[in-house]
Amino acid sequence: MHKVAVGTVDWNARREDFPILHEQAHGHPLIYFDSAATSQKPRPVIEALRNFYEHDNANVHRGLHTLSSRATEAYEKARQRVAEYIGAASADEIIFTRGTTESINLVAQAWGGKFIREENVILLTGMEHHSNVVPWQLLAERIGARLRFVPVLDDGTLDLDQLPSLLTPEVKLFAFTHISNSLGTINPVAELCAKAHAVGALTLVDAAQSAGHMPIDVRELGCDFLAFSGHKMCGPTGIGVLYGRAEVLDSMPPWHGGGEMIVSVALEKSTFKKAPHRFEAGTPNIAGAIGLAAAIDYIEHIGRPAIFEHDSQLARYAAERIKELPGIRVFGPKEERGALVGFVMEAAHPHDLTTFADQYGLAMRGGHHCNQPLMRRFGVSGTTRASFYFYNMMEEIDRMIEILHAAARFFK
């Protein structure tokens, strides 16, 4: 598909692809600054879903009739599309899941259950989303293994000086986020993967906040697993991806049992298909996978380098302007940051501030963002977060600043 060069995208036209952006909230034009929670959906994705249900809907891999063949072909083409999007060597390395959370649980249960022993360590970081903490806690408790965490520095980056003492040969997996959903920190994935491999550990990258915002090539990054969600990158909810390096997936037992993942079933014992089908028991989210492929086509048509540049500009501008406000603390790195800004206004609790903003049509998120350990690290119960995507505009940030000034006066 043709890619538009950085800087030449007509962002206003792209914005028009999102019908929901014409909505109003409390009588004000909607300003949607909550894309880190879930992105909005462009017309081509909505149409792909509609088209599937109107023309091709049937179950996959089962029927021998025309619709079933069409549905199967579209579903498997979607898998191929995802593989290309992240630079995987083969579509067999792509498992469809419900989202990042399920992808990480799959690795914890299927891979962790087989390969983690009592004497082993799973290394995480202090900025992980609960989805990349709790599955490892459950595993560690069951097996008696230990967790370690790379600390977060005051500027929101990882304390990489601690790595030599943390990344020791007992570590079997280093699982970390690509972009922090509260700080916007972009972690040096390739460097972290190389360091993990040097001590014999595998790596899992949580790409929930990066997959729709920047180019990702799993082979260049050198990761063993990569997890992301369709709904944060213009796709539907309920569909996500686990990439696993072929050799690693082949070594893993199934996790969910049921239809479609077996070769044969006898009353006492079953044999299983190869990856990825071994990990997709039951009827999958067929429409979701097709919608995700449409989202990928849409994103690729714009071009991820252009999206990254646009989103980073918005985030940097927002971070600078938010500092104008009285009694404000802005979180995250000063220089490069992902498409979001977290902040605390002394005068107002994040929930109150977010509710106030909603009265003016401004949708942000207030709370701990499923990052309780990180919030504790920074001594706050939560933050207010404005998160952006390519359909947002500088003018909306200016309007946000006006609304935040009004809030500062109101809560004073």
Of the residues 17, 56, 93, 206, which one makes contact with ligand C6P according to CB under 6 A: 206
Please confirm, yes or no, whether 223 is among the known catalytic residues: no
Task: Verify binding: residue 40, ligand C6P, rule CB under 6 A.
Answer: no
CB of 354 to ligand C6P, least distance (A): 12
| By CB under 6 A, residue 369 contacts ligand C6P | yes
Closer residue to ligand C6P, CB minimum distance, 72 or 228: 228
Q: Does 209 bind ligand C6P (CB under 6 A)?
A: yes
In whole angstroms, how far apart are CA 208 and each of 102, 150, 276, 347? 12, 19, 20, 32
Long-range Cβ contacts of 208-211 (<8 Å, 24+ apart): 208/99, 208/100, 208/129, 208/131, 208/177, 208/181, 208/232, 209/36, 209/177, 209/178, 209/179, 209/180, 209/181, 209/338, 209/339, 209/340, 210/178, 210/179, 210/186, 210/338, 211/86, 211/241
CA–chain centroid gap for 19, Å, is: 23
Q: Which of residues 210-249 bind ligand C6P (CB under 6 A)?
A: 229
129 binds ligand C6P (CB under 6 A): yes
384 binds ligand C6P (CB under 6 A): no
Position 365 contacts ligand C6P (CB under 6 A): yes
- CA–CA gap between residue 224 and residue 215 (Å, rounded): 17
Judged by CB under 6 A, the chain residues 272 through 331 that form the site for ligand C6P are none
Tell me if 25 sits within 8 A of 363, measured CB to CB.
yes
Q: How far apart are CA 185 and CA 195, in angstroms?
A: 19
Whole-number minimum distance, CB 149 to ligand C6P, in Å? 15
Helix axes 43-51, 286-302, angle to 10 degrees: 150
Q: Is 208 in the site for ligand C6P (CB under 6 A)?
A: yes
Question: To the nearest whole angstrom, how small is the minimum distance from the Cβ of residue 36 to ligand C6P?
Answer: 5
For residue 97, the minimal CB distance to ligand C6P (Å) is: 9
Q: Which residues from 59-118 bind ligand C6P, rule CB under 6 A?
A: 99-101
- State the nearest-atom distance from the C-beta of 390 to ligand C6P, in Å: 18
| Site membership for ligand C6P, residue 36 (CB under 6 A) | yes
Question: How buried is residue 164: exposed, middle or buried, by Cβ count under 10 Å (0-12/13-18/19+)?
Answer: exposed
Q: Catalog residues that contact ligand C6P under the rule CB under 6 A.
A: 36-37, 99-101, 129, 131-132, 177, 181, 206, 208-209, 229, 365, 369-370
Catalytic positions, written as ranges: 370
